Amino acid sequence: MGPDPKFVEEMTRRQLLRRTALLAGGAVAGPTIARLFRAAGGGTLVYAQGLFERVKGLPPEVTSNKDFYVVSKNPPGFDPVVNVDRWNLEIAGLVSRPAKLTYDSIRGLPSIERYHTLECISNEVGGDLISNAKWRGVPLRDVLRQAGDVSSKTVRVAFRCADGYSEAIPLADAMHPDTLLVYEMNGERLPNSHGFPVRLLVPGLFGMKNPKWITKIEAVDHNFLGYWERSGWSDKAVVQTMSKFTTPRGGVTVRPGDTVELGGVAYAADRGVRTIEFSPDDGKTWQPAELKSPLGKHTWMLWAATWKPPTAGRYGLRVRATDGLGMRQTSVETATLPNGATGHHRLVVQVRA
């Protein structure tokens, strides 16, 4: 059975937004590239490349499995350990041919490998609950096709997990080609703490919408609410545009005229990041920073800049990003609950003669 008109309309809207982000083209590096081409010769380009090599304190573009952030509803030591020989993935609900898939049968489907950043919805401004890895998996829509047709009455696709966790995403997200059911992380079998045997990767949504240890996928005709949504967290859970300093650390002391290396990461999910700016005077004025090309369209970006404080004093530094759709990161400070934290990451640098 074919999808209903609302589904087709939603898919069309999402495709349009993605094309807009891509046409922002220079969206990801436009102003930087423009500055490079305005410069005489290749000196500026060499400077931009060298800046990322020179600035200390930037994170690796790819987070190792052991350093990738972990959040679980379970107390420490109580995450499930799945015996893959006894495990299968049930596909049920509003499908024409309910099915159970083994781990090997999922791995046998045509796979995709890509870089993808995950951020927890409970990540504070400037927090560490964000990481980037290379994943391998199968488009979720190809997995769903193993159970025949999805009914036109389907509203959401729900997920049940081995630890009792539950989650759901709109059908449009489930059928999007970039939504993956993954089983490898950075070239290794998916670690248990990250959801072995399989977990979900959904573009544009916070980590809570990317469940781990999945045992059942169900097409439903109602607004299924997941574990955290029932506690008041956002059901949409769209990633907020973020940026942060990873260097220098707050409270550092320098002298007037010293070259201070600044840098960190910025992330706006599948919208991409167009520009990064930093302010040396607590938001009164802003200066452009350099952006490093991302590893993929679903990843964070590294940024870097240098700054020379002119006189002694106490300087409040801020950073902000503009996403690929031209929307600037808000300065309004909000708590993580329910939609994810917003506001500028800020640190203080002491300059003493």
> Residue 185: which of 83, 88, 113, 293 has the closest Cα?
113
Amino acid 2: pLDDT: 39
CATH number of the domain residue 178 falls in: 3.90.420.10
Tens of pLDDT, residue by residue over 260-279, are 999 999 999 999 999 999 99
Average pLDDT over residues 166-187: 98
Residue with tokens 């982000």: 21
Q: How far is CA 175 from CA 103, 157, 202, 219, in A?
A: 21, 9, 10, 11
Tell me the pLDDT tens digit for each residue of 192-210: 999 999 999 999 999 999 9
- Rounded Cα distance between 190 and 212, Å, is 10
pLDDT at 26 over 90: no
Structure tokens at 34: 């423009």
The reply to whether 246 falls in a domain is: no
Percentage above 70 pLDDT, the chain: 86
At 307-339, the pLDDT tens digits run 999 999 999 999 999 999 999 999 999 999 999
Dihedral angle at the C-alpha atoms of 71, 75, 81, 87, nearest 10 degrees? -80
3-state secondary structure the chain: CCCCHHHHHHHHHHHHHHHHHHHCEHHHHHHHHHHHHHCCCCHHHHHHHHHHHHCCCCCCCCCCCCCCCCCCCCCCCCCCCCCCCCCCEEEEECECCCEEECHHHHHCCCCEEEEEEEECCCCCCCCCCEEEEEEEEEEHHHHHHHHCCECCCCCEEEEEECCCCEEEEEHHHHCCCCCEEEEEECCEECCHHHCCCCEEECCCECHHHCCCCEEEEEEECCCCCCCCHHHCCCCCCECCCEEEEEECCCCCEECCCCCEEEEEEEECHHHCEEEEEEECCCCCCCEECEECCCCCCCCCEEEEEEECCCCCEEEEEEEEEEECCCCECCCCCECCCCCCCECCEEEEEEECC
- Expressed as residue numbers, the domain containing 176 is 89-231
Residue 238 lies in a domain: no
Q: How many domains does the chain have?
A: 1
| Cβ proximity of 318 and 349 under 8 Å | no
The answer to whether residue 308 is domain-embedded is: no
Mean pLDDT, rounded, for 81-85: 97
Give 243 or 8, the one with higher predicted confidence.
243
- Tens digit of pLDDT for each residue in 93-133? 999 999 999 999 999 999 999 999 999 999 999 999 999 99
Q: Which of 42-51, 59-68, 217-226 has the lowest mean pLDDT?
A: 42-51
In a domain, 274, yes or no: no
Give a yes or no: residue 304 inside a domain.
no
| Assigned domain for 124 exists | yes
Residue 227 is assigned to a structural domain of this protein? yes
- Residue 83: inside a domain: no
